[in-house]
Chains A and B, each alone.
Chain A
Amino acid sequence: MLAIECIDVAKSFRPEGDSPFRRKRGKVAALQGISFAMPEGECFGILGPNGSGKSTLIRLMCTLLLPDSGQMRVFGRDVVTAPQEVRRLIHRVSVEASFFKKLSAQENLDYAAGLYGLDRQTARRRAQEILDRLGLPRAKYRAPLEEMSRGQQQKVAIARALLTSPTLLLLDEPTTGLDPRSRRDVQAFVEDIRRDYRASIVLCTHDMQEAQRLCDRVAVLRDGRFVALDTPEELAAAHGGGQGLEGAFLALTGEDPNDEGELDA
Chain B
Amino acid sequence: MSAAGRSQNADAFERALDNRPVMGRSLYVDAWHRLLKNKAAVAGLVVLAAMAVMVVLGPMLVEWDHEIPDWDHYSSPPSLETNHWFGTDALGRDLFVRTMIGGQISLLVGIVSTLVSLLIGVSYGAVAGYFGGRVDNVMMRFVDAVYAMPFMFFVILLMVVFGRNIFLIFVAIGAVNWLDMARIVRGQTLSLKNKDFVEAARASGARQSQIIRRHIVPNLLGVVIVYVTLTIPQVILVESFLSFLGLGVQEPLTSWGALVNEGAQELETAPWSLLFPAGFLAATLFAFNFLGDGLRDALDPKDRL
State whether these chains interact: no
**A→B interface (CB under 8 Å):** none
**B→A interface (CB under 8 Å):** none
